[in-house]
Amino acid sequence: MVSSHRPLSDLTVLDLTWILSGPFASMILCDMGADVIKVERPPYGDIARTTGPYIGDESGYFFSVNRGKRSICIDLRNTQGRETFLRLADKADVVMENFTPGTMGALGLGYDVLSARNPRLVYAATSGFGQTGPERDRPALDVIVQGMGGIMSITGEPDGPPVRPGVSQGDITAGLFTAIVSCPHYTSERGAGRAR
């Protein structure tokens, strides 16, 4: 008999991510039983909602990496929105975001603020060039990382130009590793405040 209990059923995740790497990470946690609350910005939500293919008026792409999640629209740029988000973060186990580094801090919602209110919170920030260092402020999409990493130079036809592989390997790999380190069950102490 197959058990209906999933290993992360006691985990609550606030997911501020968008496009692919972050939503893929939180989708893995959701598939393993976590209650994932996708926090989207008004008025349109995740930009992936505008990406085809479409099923009726809905993006099949969006639903492919956001299945099973609950969703709420919060404007983090205003006081009421920030207060709503902070109340949710007070009760969450994990906050995930993939903004350009410093965005959450500029909103007054960085790790220092969130962890002061909820010391057991795991904060997972995914970015193309890391949270520190000389390239931290550069935005990145999978195709940029593939080009810089050299994978495009080994695909395509002999003597032809570089070709992007059909799979968004950079985003999916980043998402997989983000999911692994975001899970408090893998930290040495549950609720240690950060993944180790």
Closest CA to 13 of 82, 91, 77, 78: 91
Give the span between the Cα atoms of 66 and 30, in whole angstroms. 9
| Chain centre to alpha carbon of residue 24 | 7
Catalytic residue of the set 15, 35, 46, 171: 171
Give the span between the Cα atoms of 60 and 76, in whole angstroms. 26
175 three-class SS: helix
10 included as an active-site residue: no
Residues 6 or more apart from 173 whose CB is under 8 A from it? none
Q: Which two tokens stand for residue 163?
A: 């070709």
Strand order in 35-40's β-sheet?
Answer: 70-73, 35-40, 12-15, 94-97, 122-125
> Phi/psi at 116 (nearest 5 deg)?
-65, -35
Catalytic residues: 171
